[in-house]
Protein backbone atom coordinates (compact mmCIF):
# COMPACT_ATOMS: atom_id res chain seq x y z
CA UNK A 1 0.00 0.00 0.00
CA UNK A 2 2.89 2.35 0.72
CA UNK A 3 4.15 2.16 -2.89
CA UNK A 4 0.69 3.24 -4.07
CA UNK A 5 0.84 6.33 -1.86
CA UNK A 6 4.22 7.35 -3.26
CA UNK A 7 2.86 7.11 -6.83
CA UNK A 8 -0.23 9.06 -5.77
CA UNK A 9 1.92 11.82 -4.28
CA UNK A 10 3.88 12.07 -7.55
CA UNK A 11 0.67 12.41 -9.58
CA UNK A 12 -0.61 15.06 -7.15
CA UNK A 13 2.61 17.03 -7.53
CA UNK A 14 2.51 16.68 -11.33
CA UNK A 15 -1.04 18.07 -11.50
CA UNK A 16 -0.77 20.58 -8.64
CA UNK A 17 -3.24 18.83 -6.33
CA UNK A 18 -3.22 18.43 -2.59
CA UNK A 19 -2.63 14.81 -1.62
CA UNK A 20 -5.88 13.42 -0.23
CA UNK A 21 -5.65 9.67 0.42
CA UNK A 22 -8.70 7.46 0.10
CA UNK A 23 -10.27 6.51 3.42
CA UNK A 24 -10.09 2.72 3.21
CA UNK A 25 -13.12 2.43 5.49
CA UNK A 26 -15.28 4.14 2.83
CA UNK A 27 -16.41 2.95 -0.60
CA UNK A 28 -15.64 4.01 -4.15
CA UNK A 29 -18.44 4.09 -6.74
CA UNK A 30 -17.52 1.87 -9.70
CA UNK A 31 -19.45 1.06 -12.88
CA UNK A 32 -20.17 -2.61 -13.44
CA UNK A 33 -17.95 -2.92 -16.53
CA UNK A 34 -14.47 -1.43 -16.32
CA UNK A 35 -13.20 -3.18 -19.45
CA UNK A 36 -14.37 -0.51 -21.90
CA UNK A 37 -12.27 2.46 -23.03
CA UNK A 38 -11.61 5.12 -21.89
CA UNK A 39 -11.47 4.81 -18.12
CA UNK A 40 -12.81 7.86 -16.24
CA UNK A 41 -12.69 8.99 -12.65
CA UNK A 42 -13.87 12.00 -10.68
CA UNK A 43 -13.77 12.89 -7.01
CA UNK A 44 -16.75 14.45 -5.27
CA UNK A 45 -16.66 15.50 -1.62
CA UNK A 46 -17.04 12.56 0.79
CA UNK A 47 -20.61 11.72 1.73
CA UNK A 48 -22.17 8.95 3.78
CA UNK A 49 -20.19 5.73 3.27
CA UNK A 50 -18.69 6.99 -0.02
CA UNK A 51 -15.15 8.38 -0.28
CA UNK A 52 -16.19 10.56 -3.24
CA UNK A 53 -14.41 8.73 -6.07
CA UNK A 54 -16.53 7.51 -8.98
CA UNK A 55 -14.85 5.36 -11.63
CA UNK A 56 -16.45 4.25 -14.91
CA UNK A 57 -15.58 3.14 -18.41
CA UNK A 58 -17.23 3.78 -21.74
CA UNK A 59 -20.26 6.03 -21.82
CA UNK A 60 -21.70 7.71 -18.71
CA UNK A 61 -25.16 6.61 -17.58
CA UNK A 62 -27.66 8.37 -15.32
CA UNK A 63 -29.20 5.04 -14.28
CA UNK A 64 -29.56 4.67 -10.50
CA UNK A 65 -27.63 1.39 -10.52
CA UNK A 66 -24.76 2.55 -12.78
CA UNK A 67 -22.34 2.76 -9.82
CA UNK A 68 -21.82 0.02 -7.26
CA UNK A 69 -19.88 0.51 -3.99
CA UNK A 70 -16.46 -1.14 -3.98
CA UNK A 71 -13.78 -1.11 -1.31
CA UNK A 72 -10.34 0.33 -2.11
CA UNK A 73 -8.58 -3.04 -1.83
CA UNK A 74 -10.90 -4.63 -4.42
CA UNK A 75 -10.51 -1.69 -6.80
CA UNK A 76 -6.70 -1.93 -6.59
CA UNK A 77 -6.94 -5.63 -7.43
CA UNK A 78 -9.36 -4.98 -10.30
CA UNK A 79 -7.66 -1.93 -11.86
CA UNK A 80 -4.18 -1.42 -10.38
CA UNK A 81 -3.24 1.03 -13.16
CA UNK A 82 -5.61 3.71 -11.83
CA UNK A 83 -4.44 3.50 -8.22
CA UNK A 84 -1.93 6.28 -8.83
CA UNK A 85 -4.78 8.80 -9.39
CA UNK A 86 -6.67 8.09 -6.16
CA UNK A 87 -4.70 10.61 -4.07
CA UNK A 88 -5.99 13.54 -6.15
CA UNK A 89 -8.08 16.03 -4.20
CA UNK A 90 -11.82 16.70 -4.47
CA UNK A 91 -12.65 18.29 -7.82
CA UNK A 92 -10.09 16.39 -9.85
CA UNK A 93 -10.91 14.16 -12.79
CA UNK A 94 -8.87 11.77 -14.87
CA UNK A 95 -9.25 10.00 -18.19
CA UNK A 96 -6.90 7.25 -19.30
CA UNK A 97 -6.71 4.34 -21.72
CA UNK A 98 -4.67 1.22 -22.37
CA UNK A 99 -2.56 3.05 -24.99
CA UNK A 100 -1.02 5.30 -22.32
CA UNK A 101 -3.25 8.34 -22.82
CA UNK A 102 -3.58 10.38 -19.63
CA UNK A 103 -5.54 13.54 -18.95
CA UNK A 104 -5.98 14.95 -15.44
CA UNK A 105 -7.76 18.21 -14.70
CA UNK A 106 -9.56 20.16 -11.99
CA UNK A 107 -13.32 20.77 -12.33
CA UNK A 108 -14.60 23.36 -9.86
CA UNK A 109 -18.23 22.24 -10.39
CA UNK A 110 -17.50 18.87 -8.76
CA UNK A 111 -16.49 20.54 -5.49
CA UNK A 112 -19.94 22.10 -5.17
CA UNK A 113 -21.94 18.89 -5.58
CA UNK A 114 -23.46 17.23 -2.57
In this predicted model, what pLDDT tens digit does every residue of 10-48 receive, in sequence order? 999 999 999 999 998 999 999 988 888 899 999 999 999
Mean pLDDT for 79-101 is 94
The more confident residue out of 6 and 60 is: 6
Angular region, 52: left φ>0, alpha ψ -120 to 50, beta rest: left
Closest to 82 in 3D by CA, of 92, 61, 91, 108? 92
What would the pLDDT profile of 39-70 be if each residue is shown by its tens digit?
999 999 999 999 999 999 988 888 888 999 99
Q: How do strand 50-57 and strand 27-31 relate by DSSP bridges?
A: parallel
Confidence band for 77, pLDDT divided at 50, 70 and 90: very high
Q: Over 80: is that where the pLDDT of 3 sits?
A: no
Q: What is the pLDDT of residue 1?
A: 59
Q: Exposed, middle or buried by CB within 10 Å (0-12, 13-18, 19+), for 75?
A: buried
- Say how far apart CA 105 and CA 47 lie, in whole Å: 22
Q: What is the pLDDT of residue 17?
A: 98
Amino acid sequence: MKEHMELQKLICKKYNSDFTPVDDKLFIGVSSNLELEPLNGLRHPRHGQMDGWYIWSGEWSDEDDFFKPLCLEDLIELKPEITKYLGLDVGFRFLTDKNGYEDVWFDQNITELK
